Homo-oligomer: A and B are copies of this chain.
Amino acid sequence: MPSPADLLASLRRGDPRALGRAISWMENGHPAARGLLAGLWPFLGGAEVIGITGAPGAGKSTLTDQLARALRAEGRKVGILAVDPTSPFTGGAILGDRIRMGRVAGDPGIFIRSMATRGALGGLARATQDAIDLLDAAGFGTILVETVGVGQDEVDVVACVQTCCVVLVPGMGDEIQAIKAGIMEVADLFVINKADRDGADQVEREIEAMKSLSPPRAWDPPVARTVAQQGTGVSALLERIREHGQYLRQGDGLALKARERARLRVESLLAEEALRRARAAAGAARIEAAIGAVAARTLDPYSAVAEILDHS
């Protein structure tokens, strides 16, 4: 077990094993995690953070990998965080890591990690934020954050990236449209992937229709087309992403994003820490007794919680 100081030094060198360990510390709430983050805070460099979000089956992983390759060709170090809320039960994230690792094996300039919910309130978004900072401090200039795009955890993640790309595909059904509508407001860029399929024009018309219904924004999200499997359109997509980055740097966009990100980080950590302290003050026995009373229907949950907090 390395000391936090050793780990910090290895992190600063970009050592992938140190990164993996540090992210696990963040995920598991390791006692030294807080000190580690405080220690690397002065070394944050302001990496560009790009979100790739969309429904299952949209080809996000392939697109993310292609973007990573294009960024590598520019000589940038690339971190990929795949936020996977479907894995609380099965450890699917770990399996996914191994499969994907194989595809970029041997390139020390790419670091891939799946982030999976562990059941902690606010845990996934918070751990992902920590991981972004770790990668930034380790010298990864671009961080790609891939999410499925539903659920509150992911909304919190997406709200913190600099450029949010929403990936759509032709030929999805009604419920997919609902997901699209839900993330409409956070999209900085739309990507129609698998654009060689029938229906790409139809998707573009739907995007334009949705945009016309939304409140006007200073940045009008462009629509890019890709066939990620073949790498088609990826460099043009990267150009659109850079244009959005330019836009942010020209105005107060980056400062606003930083403030938004700071807000979500402080608020989610505050929730976590307030709960941890309340639990510690009450003690497990009191909490278990309250749960038992609620299960037996002798006490309602609101009164049970008041009892836990007021008598501890």
Contact = CB atoms under 8 A, between A and B. Distances in A.
A266 B305 contact: yes
Interface stretch (A100-108, A148-156, A240-248): A148-156
B184 A89 contact: yes
B273 A86 contact: no
Contact of A294 (B85, B124, B266, B295): B266
Contacts of A290: 266
Interface residues of A, number: 81
A238 interface: no
Interface of A: 33-34, 37-38, 41, 44, 55-57, 84-90, 92, 96, 117, 119, 121-124, 129, 148, 150-155, 172-176, 178-179, 181-186, 255, 258-259, 261-263, 265-271, 273-275, 277-279, 287, 290-292, 294-295, 297, 299-306, 308-309
A151 B154 CA distance: 8
**Chain B CB within 10 A, most for which of A33, A182, A297:** A182
Copies in the complex: 2
A88 B152 contact: yes
Given A269-B304, A271-B274, 12 more contacts: A34-B302, A37-B301, A57-B174, A57-B176, A86-B178, A86-B182, A150-B151, A152-B152, A152-B153, A255-B295, A269-B301, A273-B305
Nearest to A118: B152
A166 to B, nearest CB: 12
Given A55-B56, A295-B259, A301 B265 contact: yes
A63 B199 CA distance: 27
B273 A56 contact: no
Contacts of A304: 266, 269
B152 A89 contact: no
8 residue pairs, one from A and one from B, having the closest CB atoms: A151-B151, A56-B175, A262-B295, A86-B182, A274-B278, A262-B294, A34-B302, A41-B300
Contacts of A278: 270, 274
A183 B290 CA distance: 29
Contacts of A155: 88, 117, 119
B181 A270 contact: no
A270 B275 contact: yes
Nearest to A298: B41
A57 B175 contact: yes
Nearest to A306: B273
B263 A179 contact: no
B153 A92 contact: no
